[in-house]
Amino acid sequence: MQHRRVSVARGKRDFTRLLRAARRGRRPIVIIDERKKEMAGVLLSPAEFERYLRLRSLYDAIRISQNLQAIDLNALTLSRQSRSELETRPR
């Protein structure tokens, strides 16, 4: 997805207009400084932000799954080990 770059000065001047554009689902807006260096976050519509959160959760789940595969741990093994530990704990 392409994004739009805006200087800090323009971001301050046109903040309300930029928020409205983000709400309408237009391109994300990255605010940058005068030296063309990215300096602050992104303005997204609520729907795009929800989509980002869902994708981030999926990414985290995939990363966790890969880490568990790397140590050869699966749900069945984890369940059995957890149950065993719980059953041997003093009450």
Residues 38 and 50 both lie in one domain: no
Quote the pLDDT of residue 1: 59
Quick one: average pLDDT of 11-30?
Answer: 84
Instruction: Answer yes or no: do 28 and 8 share one domain.
Output: yes
Tell me the pLDDT tens digit for each residue of 30-78: 777 777 777 777 888 888 889 999 999 999 999 988 887 788 777 788 8
Please report the pLDDT score of residue 22 as a whole number. 84
Range of the domain at 79: 46-91
Domain of 15: which CATH number? 3.40.1620
Q: Please compute the mean of the pLDDT values over residues 22-28 and round it to a whole number.
A: 79
**pLDDT for 36:** 76
Q: Which residues contact 63 (CB under 8 A, 6 or more apart)?
A: none
Do 1 and 35 lie in a common domain? yes
Q: What are phi and psi of 44, to 5 degrees?
A: -125, 155
- pTM metric for this prediction: 0.59
Determine the pLDDT at residue 62.
Answer: 92
